């Protein structure tokens, strides 16, 4: 039995790296008496403190739960491996930051799943907390919940998680914790509590479903085995984002988080329809926050945090209706207080020169653009509605306004890719450099820096590419080398790429089924954790896990799937229909584009949700 002791913890803290990751005491951390709350929720981010504290979702839900006078939410993060090992050696259970309560004393332990390669950390955190990993081994103790974008294919985690929340969490979370509170008050059993939860829209309780498989390994059937469980789990949508709860204060960490600043979520959803982009499909439809709401949120957050930087967040900030007004108003208000305003995830087709100039008044950060592919044909395949002309105009504008650092993001291994598409990346990089030199010397900033970053395409559920196979490792390596050669010939470009092994594992989990859970467990047993950190990725541990479980990674990562195949996530209604996605997949193969649905509905399926998709 693991027993918590503050004294032993203090002792450990003197011996580990960056102990202030574990000690809390931050401004705006919510401190409530633990024993007086009807429901206690440990919000777990399965990665380091610095990564977790940068994440917006945790801020929103932490605030929402703590707003309920009867509920309490505290945070927990994945301890850095040195701390994890020390805790295990000392038998010290994983504890929450605020009250240092061991996680197994909470009513609910909830994980946010932002990327597949954090799954081993979910197991590691449960184990560090002394909580049995498999749902079937937990007769009492906390209910394990999970949400976030990866919950849209929950199957690889199905045996470990009791309850998944699918979709926007703002309303569903309150319903879920209220349900647990009621069940507790009525003294219901664990099973009946799960049944009550399964009736909430958006909630999936994997134990209430059964999967069977064909001889070729594909899914034969998937259906509920408990009356409380719906056959189709429908994602939750917050219809009115403007009135949805948003924190008035962020917890301000001492040790610097990756993104340590005020974040304003200006809108949710994206209608561009890029075919590789899971977020673009999952977060439909587009909902905007009003200018007034955002300005008032900015003011409250600034007064509560004292941050020196503010960033606007959305999938496609350039499409926000009042972008120029918002950026002008923010810069005007905060210039005197020396607060900079930044616009990440700017898409080149929505580039607004004016807002660029506004943003730059306070600080000039590097410009990030994501053309994703090198040729027009390839961009048509992925439905990235951007032309080379757009891109060159955008960078020229930026160079004229004094920018000199440009990062270009590309993907390799996209469907139908040929050598010409790789060549295209080199051509584009060269054109960007030429654009810099066309700007008169007196007008441009010194020190041009162009970086090309190539990630490996990972097919994701609920995208038109969900049927496509990923390139095999040797192919990816070959393409990376080839692209390296091409870019080597372009003077002044830095090239970097991602580990292809990591992308392969990501692909296995992204489209995995329940059998991937065995591999996950075996890999964790082999010591895999913190897989997203290059220094900790233990590829041999993973390969051994696949072998021991008799699972072929190619079945999940590289196999092309057919129209009729039952996909492991088909029981989830994510808004976009399978028919729409297939249509888009066929159009992709013909390199046919689909325009932004703001200009006309493309029939993706969201209209089936009442009142969410309004024609403009």
To another protein, the closest distance from the beta carbon of 22 in angstroms equals 8
The entry of another protein, ligand SF4, none near residue 14 (CB within 5 to 8 angstroms by kind) is another protein
The entry of another protein, ligand SF4, none near residue 607 (CB within 5 to 8 angstroms by kind) is ligand SF4
Q: Does 607 bind ligand SF4 (CB under 6 A)?
A: yes
To another protein, the closest distance from the beta carbon of 9 in angstroms equals 11
To another protein, the closest distance from the beta carbon of 26 in angstroms equals 6
To another protein, the closest distance from the beta carbon of 68 in angstroms equals 22
The entry of ligand SF4, another protein, none near residue 602 (CB within 5 to 8 angstroms by kind) is ligand SF4
Q: Does 130 bind ligand SF4 (CB under 6 A)?
A: no
To another protein, the closest distance from the beta carbon of 408 in angstroms equals 26
**Judged by CB under 6 A, which stretch of 247-255, 353-361, 528-536, 598-606 contacts ligand SF4?**
598-606
Q: How far apart are CA 363 and CA 136, in angstroms?
A: 53
Nearer to another protein, 283 or 334 (CB): 334
Q: How far apart are CA 553 and CA 98, in angstroms?
A: 40
Q: Which residues pair with 95 in a beta bridge?
A: 102
Nearer to another protein, 24 or 512 (CB): 24
Residues 6+ apart with CB under 8 A from 56: 263, 265, 313
* C-alpha dist (Å) from residue 320 to 56, 265, 416, 520, 607: 19, 11, 32, 40, 21
- Where on the phi/psi map is residue 568: left (φ > 0), alpha (ψ -120 to 50), or beta? alpha
Q: Where are the alpha helices (DSSP H) in 321-414?
A: 323-334, 353-362, 376-381, 388-400
Residues 291-320 that bind ligand SF4 (CB under 6 A): none
**Judged by CB under 6 A, which stretch of 19-27, 304-312, 384-392, 604-612 contacts ligand SF4?**
604-612
Residue of 332, 342, 345 whose CA lies nearest to 308: 342
Both tokens of 199, joined, read 């009736």
Nearer to another protein, 176 or 301 (CB): 301
| DSSP 8-state code for residue 212 | E
**DSSP β-ladder status, 108-112 and 39-45:** parallel
The entry of another protein, ligand SF4, none near residue 285 (CB within 5 to 8 angstroms by kind) is ligand SF4
Report the alpha-carbon angle 521-526-529, nearest 5.
Answer: 75
Nearer to another protein, 48 or 375 (CB): 48
Sign for the pseudo-dihedral over CA of 173, 466, 115, 216: positive
To another protein, the closest distance from the beta carbon of 333 in angstroms equals 14
Q: Does 601 bind ligand SF4 (CB under 6 A)?
A: yes
Phi, psi of 391 (to 5 degrees): -65, -45
The entry of another protein, ligand SF4, none near residue 31 (CB within 5 to 8 angstroms by kind) is another protein
* Widest Cα–Cα separation across the chain: 75
Q: How far apart are CA 511 and CA 553, in angstroms?
A: 11
3-state secondary structure 147-174: ECHHHHCCHHHCCCCCEEECECHHHHHH
The entry of another protein, ligand SF4, none near residue 342 (CB within 5 to 8 angstroms by kind) is none
Q: Does 271 bind ligand SF4 (CB under 6 A)?
A: yes
Q: Does 597 bind ligand SF4 (CB under 6 A)?
A: yes
Q: Does 144 bind ligand SF4 (CB under 6 A)?
A: no
The entry of ligand SF4, another protein, none near residue 543 (CB within 5 to 8 angstroms by kind) is none
Nearer to another protein, 24 or 102 (CB): 24
To another protein, the closest distance from the beta carbon of 293 in angstroms equals 21
Q: Does 287 bind ligand SF4 (CB under 6 A)?
A: no
User: Which helix or strand (DSSP H or E) is residue 292 part of?
Assistant: helix 291-305
Q: How far apart are CA 517 and CA 160, in angstroms?
A: 8
The entry of ligand SF4, another protein, none near residue 604 (CB within 5 to 8 angstroms by kind) is ligand SF4
- Residue whose Cβ sits closest to ligand SF4: 597
**DSSP β-ladder status, 267-268 and 287-288:** antiparallel
The entry of another protein, ligand SF4, none near residue 256 (CB within 5 to 8 angstroms by kind) is another protein
Size of the site for ligand SF4 (CB under 6 A): 11
Nearer to another protein, 307 or 609 (CB): 307
* Cβ-based burial of 250 (10 A; exposed 0-12, middle 13-18, buried ≥19): buried
Report the alpha-carbon angle 160-163-168, nearest 5.
Answer: 125
**Judged by CB under 6 A, which stretch of 254-262, 358-366, 583-591, 600-608 contacts ligand SF4?**
600-608
Number of Cβ within 10 Å of residue 525's Cβ equals 14
To another protein, the closest distance from the beta carbon of 12 in angstroms equals 11
Q: How far apart are CA 380 and CA 592, in angstroms?
A: 6
Report the alpha-carbon angle 367-485-408, nearest 5.
Answer: 10
Contact residues toward another protein (CB under 8 A) are 11, 13-14, 19-20, 23-29, 31, 252, 254-256, 302-308, 337-338, 363
To another protein, the closest distance from the beta carbon of 251 in angstroms equals 10
When binding is defined by CB under 6 A, the residue of 150, 276, 284, 331 that contacts ligand SF4 is 284
Q: How far apart are CA 133 and CA 125, in angstroms?
A: 10
Residue of 538, 243, 244, 483 whose CA lies nearest to 373: 483
Q: How far apart are CA 475 and CA 495, in angstroms?
A: 18
Nearer to another protein, 69 or 306 (CB): 306
Q: Does 223 bind ligand SF4 (CB under 6 A)?
A: no
To another protein, the closest distance from the beta carbon of 63 in angstroms equals 17
The entry of another protein, ligand SF4, none near residue 271 (CB within 5 to 8 angstroms by kind) is ligand SF4
Nearer to ligand SF4, 130 or 605 (CB): 605
Residues 6+ apart with CB under 8 A from 573: 232, 233, 234, 235
Nearer to another protein, 22 or 546 (CB): 22
Report the alpha-carbon angle 164-166-169, nearest 5.
Answer: 100
To another protein, the closest distance from the beta carbon of 355 in angstroms equals 22
Assess contact for 263 and 311: CB atoms under 8 A.
yes
How many helices and strands, by DSSP H and E, does the chain display? 20, 19
When binding is defined by CB under 6 A, the residue of 130, 253, 285, 568 that contacts ligand SF4 is 285
Both tokens of 281, joined, read 């499909």
> HSE-up of 388 (CA within 13 Å, CB side)?
16
To another protein, the closest distance from the beta carbon of 398 in angstroms equals 19
To another protein, the closest distance from the beta carbon of 19 in angstroms equals 4
Q: Does 277 bind ligand SF4 (CB under 6 A)?
A: no
Q: How far apart are CA 206 and CA 514, in angstroms?
A: 10
To another protein, the closest distance from the beta carbon of 338 in angstroms equals 5
Q: Which residues bind ligand SF4 (CB under 6 A)?
A: 271, 284-285, 597, 601-604, 606-607, 613
């Amino acid at each position: 039995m693991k027993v918590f002791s503050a004294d032993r913890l203090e002792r450990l803290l003197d011996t580990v790296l960056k102990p202030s990751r574990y000690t809390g005491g931050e401004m705006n951390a919510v401190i409530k008496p633990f024993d007086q709350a009807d429901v206690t929720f440990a919000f777990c981010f399965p990665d380091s403190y610095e990564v977790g504290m940068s994440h917006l979702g945790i801020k929103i839900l932490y605030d929402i739960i703590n707003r309920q006078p009867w509920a309490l939410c505290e945070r927990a993060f994945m301890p850095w491996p040195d701390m994890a090992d020390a805790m295990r050696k000392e038998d010290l259970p994983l504890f929450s930051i605020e009250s240092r309560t061991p996680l197994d004393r909470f009513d609910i332990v909830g994980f946010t799943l932002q990327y597949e390669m954090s799954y081993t950390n979910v197991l590691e955190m449960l184990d560090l907390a002394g909580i049995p990993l498999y749902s079937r081994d937990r007769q009492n103790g906390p209910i394990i919940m999970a949400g976030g974008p990866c919950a849209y294919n929950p199957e690889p985690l199905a045996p470990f998680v009791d309850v998944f929340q699918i979709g926007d969490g703002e309303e569903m979370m309150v319903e879920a914790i209220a349900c647990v509170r009621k069940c507790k008050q009525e003294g219901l059993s664990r099973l009946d509590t799960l049944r009550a939860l399964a009736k909430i829209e958006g909630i999936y309780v994997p134990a209430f479903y059964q999967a069977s498989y064909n001889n070729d390994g594909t899914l034969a059937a998937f259906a509920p085995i408990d009356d409380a469980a719906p056959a189709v789990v429908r994602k939750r949508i917050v219809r009115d984002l403007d009135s949805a709860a948003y924190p008035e204060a962020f917890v301000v960490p001492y040790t610097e988080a990756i993104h340590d600043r005020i974040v304003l979520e200006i809108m949710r959803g994206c209608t561009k329809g890029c075919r590789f982009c899971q977020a673009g499909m999952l977060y439909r439809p587009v909902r905007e926050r009003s200018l007034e709401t955002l300005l008032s949120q900015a003011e409250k957050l600034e007064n509560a945090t004292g941050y020196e930087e503010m960033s606007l967040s959305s999938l496609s900030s350039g499409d926000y209706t009042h972008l120029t007004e918002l950026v002008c108003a923010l810069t005007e208000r905060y210039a005197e207080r020396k607060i900079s305003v930044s616009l990440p995830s700017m898409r080149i087709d929505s580039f607004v020169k004016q807002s660029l100039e506004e943003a730059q008044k306070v600080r000039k950060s590097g410009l990030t653009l994501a053309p994703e592919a090198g040729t027009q044909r390839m961009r048509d395949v992925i439905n990235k509605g951007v032309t080379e002309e757009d891109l060159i105009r955008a960078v020229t504008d930026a160079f004229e306004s004094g920018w000199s650092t440009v990062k270009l993001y590309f993907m390799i291994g996209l469907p139908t890719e040929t050598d010409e598409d790789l060549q295209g990346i080199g051509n584009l990089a060269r054109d960007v450099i030429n654009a810099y030199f066309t700007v008169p010397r007196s007008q441009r900033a010194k020190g041009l820096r162009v970086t090309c970053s190539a990630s490996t395409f990972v097919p994701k559920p609920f995208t038109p590419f969900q049927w496509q196979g990923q390139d095999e490792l040797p192919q990816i390596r070959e393409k990376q080398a080839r692209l390296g050669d091409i870019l080597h010939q372009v003077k002044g470009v830095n090239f970097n790429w991602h580990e292809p092994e990591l992308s392969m594992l990501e692909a296995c989990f992204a489209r995995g089924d329940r059998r991937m859970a065995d591999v996950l467990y075996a890999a964790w047993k082999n010591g895999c954790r913190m897989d997203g950190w290059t220094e900790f990725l233990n590829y041999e541990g993973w390969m051994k896990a696949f072998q021991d479980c008799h699972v072929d990674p190619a079945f999940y990562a590289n196999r092309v799937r057919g129209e009729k195949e039952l996909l492991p996530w088909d029981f989830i209604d994510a808004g976009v229909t399978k028919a729409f996605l297939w249509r888009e997949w066929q159009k992709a193969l013909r390199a046919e584009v689909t325009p932004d649905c703001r200009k006309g509905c493309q029939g993706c399926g969201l209209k089936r949700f009442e009142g969410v998709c309004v024609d403009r």
